[in-house]
Structures are given as structure tokens and as C-alpha cells.
Structure 1
Amino acid sequence: MAYRSIFRPDLFEGQVILVTGGGSGIGRCVAHELAALGARLVIAGRDPEKLARVADEIESEGYSVDTLCCNIRSEVEVAAMIEGVLALHGRLDGLVNNAGGQFHAPLADISAKGFEAVVSTNLTGGFIVMREAYRQWMQGHGGAIVNMSADIWMGLPGFAHSAASRAGMESLTQSAAAEWAGSGVRVNTVAPGMITSSGFDNYEGAGVDQIRAYPERVPAKRYGTVAEVSAAIVFLLSPAAAYITGSCLRVDGGSPNGRHGQALKQVKGLPAFDGFHLSSTPVLFEESNRT
């Protein structure tokens, strides 16, 4: 099998694209699609074993990929990562600024340390990565950056620290889009709703309950797929988005539009697209794990 992208196979031929957080979830899917579309791909993350597994998957399908280990919260490591991309390929055309993380907790129970850890990863770390990509290459050569946001539009109970950091990324993206357009750099965000991925299996208790209840209040009546998020990212990286910068592309099944208290009585929702040939069902959805 091969990735079933809707985009033409040579879309990114000759272009170098870096995907942070490329060892799992959305980043893994994006890496597969970009490789299938001809990109000279580099994936980065903190866990070398995860990166190696994804690299093996991609290489087994006849594509090439390089891996770089990096903690995006470290300015030194991020600078070295971008230097590494340039040493390997001599250019950097696109950045998928995907690395991040959060945990489920009521706002009153989040410690300052826990709050700062999430903000440091999702916002400060993302800032460092895009700044270094700009400083070391894109300022003089142009490029496209896609940052990661989330479905934060009316708050995100249970993940308030993550919502705060993603809201900051929205503002940061708009500022960068204005400041960097003169260098030929486009900066946008993708804001996923609840997307079916291995990340679901990091939660327990109330977090699992929140995930399972999600489709009932979403107009699309389902979760999203990683392939749907990947397609949005690929579009924003592509020449078709040449006049789009400082914008956010929501991939959320209309979730914010279903939060007005009305009963969503429709039985059928919107059909899914899943072009990722290696996608799998999170463990929490397996029948034996339901209570």
C-alpha cells in the first residue's frame, strides 16, 4: 500500500521540509504524505526510537528521510537542528512546526510548573523553531511555515494550559506573517479538533470520558483523521496557498459551531477522508476497553 494523497506526487520535488514531532500522531502522518509527494524530508523529535520507526516505515516504501533529535525547549538544540537540516540538504523550504504536548487536568489542579511546561513546549518551543528557521535560511530565501494550533475558540476545559499556549501561537503566527512577508515567508496555522491518533492513549479517567463524548456535540458527528489534518498542512505549504498568510485553517468538523446548546439530532454526519495507509485505531476505542 501507499499513501493516498489527493495532491500530485511531485508537488514538493526538490524541496526540503522539516517536520517537528515527526515520530508519532499527526507528525508521523504528515511525514508520510510529504515523502510521498517528493519532499526531501527531515523529521525531528525527542525520542530517537520513535523517529527511527517512522524513518523505517518511510524508507521501506522507497522514500528517503533524515532524522534529528531535538528538545524544542532548548535554544541551543533548536539552533543545532536547523543547522543540521542545512548541513544535510543545503536549504529549508518548509517547516511543519508540529511538536507539542499537554495533559488533561482541571485548571484548579494545574501547578505553575505543569502550566509552564506546556506553554514552554507548545508556544515558546514553537517560537524558537520558527525563529531559527527564519534566521538561518528563510529570511534570505523565503519559505512556508505551518504552526499547530487547536480547537480553542471558546476555551478548552480540561486543557486550559494547552489552549492558552495555542492561543498565543495564533497571535504569534499573525505577527510573524506581517513581519516576515517581506522576506517571502508565509506563516499560517492549522487548528485540529479532536483527531483520532495514538495520542488518545495518553489519557485516562476524565480525559477518556471527554474524548468519548466529543462526537455528540460536533456537527460532523465524528472524530477527525490524521490524514485530514495532513491534507490541510500540505495545502498551506503548497503554491496553491501563495496568497494565504497569517491565517488559521480549522480542521474540526464544525466543533465550535456546535457549542451553542442546541441539540444536534442528526444521525449522519460528514464522511471521513483517511488517506494514511498506516493509520490505526486508538486502544481506548477497542470494545474490550469500554466500560
Structure 2
Amino acid sequence: MSTHYRSIFRPDLFAGQTFVVTGGGSGIGRCTAHELASLGAHTVLIGRKLEKLERVMAEILDDGSQASCHSLDIRDETNVRDTVAAVLEARGAVAGLVNNAGGQYPAPLEAINQKGFETVVRTNLVGGFLMARELFTQHFKKAGGAVVNIVADMWKGMPGMGHSGAARAGMINFTKTAAVEWAQNGVRVNAVAPGWIASSGLETYPEMVRAMIPKLAQGVPLKRLGSEAEVSATICFLLSPAASFITGETLSVDGGAPLMPHHWPMPDHDRSRSYAGFHRDTLPTELAALAKPEQGQD
């Protein structure tokens, strides 16, 4: 295993800047926090479980980079306001926000009660709005900045997770609205829509759902799952100066899954290999293998 994150970006890209990453204790959030830190940033990890945040913070510090963390339920407006104020007091300035925190559970619409639906919407939509709004009103309004909202592949609806699909669609619309309203303040707002990604998030689903994971690649033209590092690289690009003329957009990282045709033959192949830049990837071997990492990468 490599001892450093293998980012495709130059090592000092974000030197001296601070980025807030919600849901930074695991999965895509953890990977993104590591990549940002490897590029010179101070990464502020946000999440509900302090133990998970402290573990990731310790990893980043052990790699010789900078990080801090705050335990927070992003659905609590008062706590979001206070936490953002505390981050700004400690860091002085924040360059960008990665709205990655989210969560859902598999269920058909008829089995979702009001509390369950509202809980998922509050986590995946309201919480992201609160984080972005507070950073805007407290800092970005004067200083400018960048926001990247993490959504999902829900272009054909989201059967089995209709609560999450509705919330993610709402977040994409919020992204477009904020991009227009906040442009005059020098704030760019974009989104990233991951498809099926070999991430720790897949391990949280019930056994019946996990049993379907090896079959997911069959519905992807590239015939594999994506890697956390492929999502993180897209996020870092959108936060970077290279994306300074991109706002209000949603970039899909899904291997072309929504384009999978019914009328065109899509034979199995082994021509697509994933970018596996995350040096601390701790996925089980069988799950990581579904992303088909390049030879010599780990």
C-alpha cells in the first residue's frame, strides 16, 4: 500500500485553504477529506459520530497533513449555525464546502411512513441546505467560496429508495438556484452524482441488498463499479480554479449507467479500470475488486 494519497492534482493545489467536509467519517467523505488534505488543505470533518471523525482525523495527521473535526447533526439548525461559527473562529476563513453527509434505507414507497420519509429528506436535503446557507451568510457572502453537493444517480427515479431520490432531486434544484443567487458574491455551487461506487456505504445495507452488489456492474456500460477516489477527484476538480467557470452543474460519476440501452448489445468486457488513488482504502477485497483497479494500484 502506498503511504501517500496518489492524487492527480499538484500537491500544493489547496495549500493554506480550509475545506469543510460533512459525512467525513467514512466512505466518499473520508476519501475526499484525505485527498484535500494531501493537496495542502486543512480539512474540517463534520459528522454525527465523533469517534469516526477522530479516527479519520488521526489518519490525516499521521500522513503529515492537517485536519480537525466537529460532531454535528446537520439537521439541527441551531447547532449548524453554532458549529459554522466555531469553525470560522478557529480557522479564520473557509474556501469550500463538500456537502457529503447523507443516509437512507431501502424500502418501497408503500412501506415508508411519514417519519421515515421526512428523516431521509431532512438528512439529504435540509441538512445540506443548512450547511450551505450558514457558510454563505456567515462567510461566503463576503469572501466567496465553492460548494459541492453530493447527490446520487436518480435520473430514472429511485425505485426502492424513493425518499432519497426525492431529496437528491431537490438538492440538484437547490444547487441551480444557489448558483444563480450567490454568483454575485463570488460563490460557485455544483453537485456530483455518484452511481454505484465501491464504498463502505454499500456495506451498511441489509444482506438481501448486499447480495445484489456483485450484479450491479452488469447494468453499467463500463462493466464495473466506481471507486471512492474517482468521486473525490471530481469533487476536488469542482473546488479547484480549473472549474472557475462552472456553476449550477451536476457531474455524474456513474460509468454511464443511466445510458445502459435495452436495444444495443452490451457484452461483458474488462477494458475499464478504476483510478484507485486512496492509499488508506479499507474496503473488503471482494468489494474493492468490483471496481477493477488498475494493475499495481492499491
Report the TM-score when normalising by structure 1: 0.95
Alpha-carbon distance, 1:140 to partner: 0.6
Q: Are positions 1:226 and 2:228 aligned together?
A: yes
Q: Which aligned pairs between 1:1-291 and structure 2 lie closer than 5 A?
A: 1-258=3-260, 260=262, 262-282=264-284, 285=287
Alpha-carbon distance, 1:262 to partner: 4.2
The 1-side partners of 2:208 and 2:185 are apart by 46
The 1-side partners of 2:240 and 2:155 are apart by 26
Conserved 8 A contact 1:221-1:270: yes
The 1-side partners of 2:288 and 2:47 are apart by 28
The 1-side partners of 2:158 and 2:264 are apart by 19
The 2-side partners of 1:262 and 1:124 are apart by 40
Aligned to 2:294: none
- Per-residue CA deviation, residues 80-131 of structure 1 (Å, 9 max, x unaligned), is 1111110111111100011110111122211111111100000011100100
Alpha-carbon distance, 1:15 to partner: 1.0
CA spacing shift, 1:179–1:221, aligned 2, 3 Å: same
Conserved 8 A contact 1:123-1:168: yes
Structure 2 segments unaligned to the other structure (5+ residues): 290-298
Alpha-carbon distance, 1:283 to partner: 7.7
Conserved 8 A contact 1:224-1:251: yes
Alpha-carbon distance, 1:266 to partner: 3.3
Alpha-carbon distance, 1:205 to partner: 3.6
The 1-side partners of 2:86 and 2:265 are apart by 52
Alpha-carbon distance, 1:259 to partner: 5.0
- Per-residue CA deviation, residues 29-88 of structure 1 (Å, 9 max, x unaligned), is 000000000012211100000001001100111112111111000001111111111011
The 2-side partners of 1:56 and 1:184 are apart by 33
- Look up the equivalent residue of 1:177 and give its one-letter code: A
Alpha-carbon distance, 1:269 to partner: 4.2
- Aligned residue pairs total 287
Alpha-carbon distance, 1:260 to partner: 3.8
CA spacing shift, 1:258–1:53, aligned 2, 3 Å: same
Conserved 8 A contact 1:190-1:233: yes
Q: Which moved more, 1:99-108 or 1:16-25?
A: 99-108
SS class of match (1:220): coil
SS class of match (1:246): coil
The 2-side partners of 1:97 and 1:261 are apart by 37
Structure 1 segments unaligned to the other structure (5+ residues): none
The 1-side partners of 2:135 and 2:104 are apart by 24
Alpha-carbon distance, 1:204 to partner: 1.6
- Per-residue CA deviation, residues 135-180 of structure 1 (Å, 9 max, x unaligned), is 0000011000000110011112111111110000000000000000
- Look up the equivalent residue of 2:39 and give its one-letter code: L
CA spacing shift, 1:81–1:269, aligned 2, 3 Å: farther
Conserved 8 A contact 1:196-1:282: no
Alpha-carbon distance, 1:247 to partner: 0.2
Alpha-carbon distance, 1:270 to partner: 1.6
SS class of match (2:34): helix
- Look up the equivalent residue of 1:213 and give its one-letter code: K
CA RMSD between the two structures = 1.6
- Per-residue CA deviation, residues 189-210 of structure 1 (Å, 9 max, x unaligned), is 0000011111111112432234
Conserved 8 A contact 2:198-2:287: no
SS class of match (2:182): helix
